[in-house]
């Protein structure tokens, strides 16, 4: 069982500047404070008491951990050392920027029990990184990833398709170069225009157009499929729907949806149903079978897939059934005198997306 994450937000702490798209307070709903040792221990105890025996991982998100002054890094990691020794927490994770990782950092993190480092790679296109005000290059991203992986850390890579100057082709090139680095997992956050950021000024001034929702979903489904093929788990697609984001005022423009990942997975299943029913007799009701956890992806948000199948492909779905023998990637389509099975890995978007 995966460890239960005990999150600590250090919003913007350690960041050398604000990247044009970023507002961690709006994203996480957390204040820009460094947690106190007493507060950290109390939160860990609360997670332990309610965690049902699951192992715990303390995780520092929302800032540039390894650019914090050393005494602050020690103040945050120090109180965790006795808990790591007794096994009360199993591991520690931090998030940081690629240009804040060097061999001394890696050594220090290893000594302090950090096992997972999440890297904000965002893009591996230097022109895109420059327009996003990142202040580092693609080479920094690749070097940091290699340095951490070579030292035995679990590495998570965060990518942001749709930044200023990015294109779907450039975003896919970034993804493929990132997959070649063999990260342990990915997070994909299509770029949103958050209120009060420099990106909002660019957007209001006509210097930036975010990806429309439909295009972002179309791009992310190709990215997800590539990651699946490379056996690199994608642990998140789209920002988590915090209260602040749900309230609506925080997102000025861009492909925001509270269930973005389900839109992406739903599209993949729509495409697979279309592939498997190509050439089948039209207007003959079909029954669809999938792994039990995939039922909602198959149906799609607000039954979108069933509506589109009827409207665009003249396919009426008579029933949808869970079949535990199928893997989460598989689908079976059955109709009178007609049965086909396939996997999401059978999809091919090389001709475009
Ligand atoms: S993207 Fe990362 S480095 Fe840039 S401002 Fe946000 S938290 Fe800091």
Q: What is the pLDDT of residues 87-127, one digit of tens each?
A: 999 999 999 999 999 999 999 999 999 999 999 999 999 99
Give the right CATH number for 264-346 from 1.10.600, 1.10.490, 3.40.30, 3.30.1330.
Answer: 3.40.30
Give the C-alpha separation, 242 to 258, whole Å: 9
Q: Closest by alpha carbon to 271, among 319, 236, 224, 323?
A: 224
Backbone angles phi, psi at 155, to 5 degrees: -115, 125
* Whole-number pLDDT of residue 314: 87
* Topology annotation, domain 4-257: TIM Barrel (3.20.20)
Percent of the chain with pLDDT over 90: 85
pLDDT at 155 over 70: yes
Q: How far is the CA of 344 from the centre of ligand 1 (A)?
A: 34
pLDDT digits (tens, 9 = 90+) for 279-325: 777 667 899 999 999 999 999 999 999 999 999 988 899 999 999 99
pLDDT at 81 over 50: yes
pLDDT at 336 over 70: yes
pTM exceeds 0.75 for this model: yes
Is 18 a pocket residue for ligand 1 (Cβ < 6 Å)? yes
* Whole-number pLDDT of residue 29: 67
Q: How far is the CA of 340 from the centre of ligand 1 (A)?
A: 47
CB 29 within 8 Å of CB 62: no
> Mean pLDDT over residues 50-76, rounded?
95
Burial code of 146-155, b = ≥16 C-beta within 10 A, e = fewer?
ebbbebebbb
pLDDT digits (tens, 9 = 90+) for 324-333: 999 999 999 9
Residue nearest to atom 5 of ligand 1 (CA): 18
CA 224, 143, 146 angle in degrees (round to 5)? Answer: 65
Domains of the chain, by residue range, sit at 4-257, 264-346
Looking up tokens 């096992």 gives: 115
* Whole-number pLDDT of residue 30: 66
Which of 24, 98, 128, 191 has most ligand 1 atoms within 8 Å of its beta carbon, as the pocket-test mutant? 24
> Mean pLDDT over residues 181-196, rounded?
97
Is 120 a pocket residue for ligand 1 (Cβ < 6 Å)? yes
Q: How far is the CA of 12 from the centre of ligand 1 (A)?
A: 6
pLDDT at 161 over 70: yes
Q: Using pLDDT thresholds of 50, 70 and 90, give the confidence band for residue 32.
A: low
Residue nearest to atom 7 of ligand 1 (CA): 63
CB 223 within 8 Å of CB 188: yes
Mean of all residue pLDDT scores within the chain: 93
Which of 9, 17, 20, 22 has most ligand 1 atoms within 8 Å of its beta carbon, as the pocket-test mutant? 22
DSSP structure class, residue 130: H
> Mean pLDDT over residues 54-77, rounded?
96
Is 63 a pocket residue for ligand 1 (Cβ < 6 Å)? yes
* Whole-number pLDDT of residue 353: 47
Task: Output the DSSP codes for 271-329.
Answer: HHHHHHHTTSPTT--EEEEE-GGGHHHHH-GGGHHHHHHHHHH---EEEEEE-TTS-TT
Residue nearest to atom 2 of ligand 1 (CA): 63
Contacts 24+ apart (CB under 8 A), 208-213: 208/164, 210/162, 210/253, 210/254, 210/255, 211/161, 211/162, 211/254, 211/255, 212/255, 213/255, 213/256, 213/257, 213/263
Residue nearest to atom 4 of ligand 1 (CA): 19
* Whole-number pLDDT of residue 245: 77
Is 14 a pocket residue for ligand 1 (Cβ < 6 Å)? no
């Amino acid at each position: 069982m995966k460890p239960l994450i005990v999150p600590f937000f250090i919003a913007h702490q350690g960041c050398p500047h604000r990247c044009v798209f970023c507002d961690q307070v709006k994203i996480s709903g957390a204040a820009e404070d460094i947690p106190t040792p007493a507060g950290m221990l109390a939160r860990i105890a609360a997670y332990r008491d309610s965690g049902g025996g699951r192992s715990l991982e303390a995780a520092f998100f929302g800032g540039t951990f390894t650019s914090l002054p050393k005494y602050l890094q020690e103040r945050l990691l120090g109180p965790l050392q006795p808990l790591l020794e007794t096994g009360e927490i199993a591991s520690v994770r931090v998030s940081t920027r690629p240009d804040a990782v060097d061999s001394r950092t890696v050594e220090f993190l290893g000594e302090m029990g950090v096992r997972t480092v999440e890297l904000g790679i965002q893009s591996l296109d230097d022109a895109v990184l420059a327009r996003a005000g990142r202040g580092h290059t693609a080479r920094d991203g690749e070097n940091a990833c290699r340095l951490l992986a070579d030292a035995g850390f679990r590495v998570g890579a965060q990518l942001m398709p749709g930044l200023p100057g990015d294109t779907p082709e450039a975003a896919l090139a970034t993804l493929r170069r990132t997959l070649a680095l063999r990260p342990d997992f990915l997070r994909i956050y299509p770029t949103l225009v958050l209120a009060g950021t420099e990106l909002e000024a660019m957007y209001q001034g006509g210097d930036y157009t975010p990806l429309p929702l439909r295009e972002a979903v179309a791009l992310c489904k190709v990215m997800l499929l590539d990651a699946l093929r490379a056996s690199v788990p994608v642990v998140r697609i789209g920002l988590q729907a915090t209260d602040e984001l749900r309230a609506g005022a925080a997102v000025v423009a861009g492909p925001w949806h509270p269930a973005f990942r389900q839109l992406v997975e739903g599209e993949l299943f729509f495409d697979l149903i279309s592939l498997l029913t190509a050439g089948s007799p039209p207007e003959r009701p079909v029954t669809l079978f999938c792994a039990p956890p995939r039922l909602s992806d198959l149906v799609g948000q607000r039954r979108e897939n069933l509506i589109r199948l009827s409207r665009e492909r003249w396919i009426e779905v008579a029933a949808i059934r869970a079949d535990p023998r199928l893997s989460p990637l598989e689908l079976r389509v059955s109709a009178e005198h007609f049965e086909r099975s396939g996997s999401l890995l059978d999809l091919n978007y090389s001709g475009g997306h």
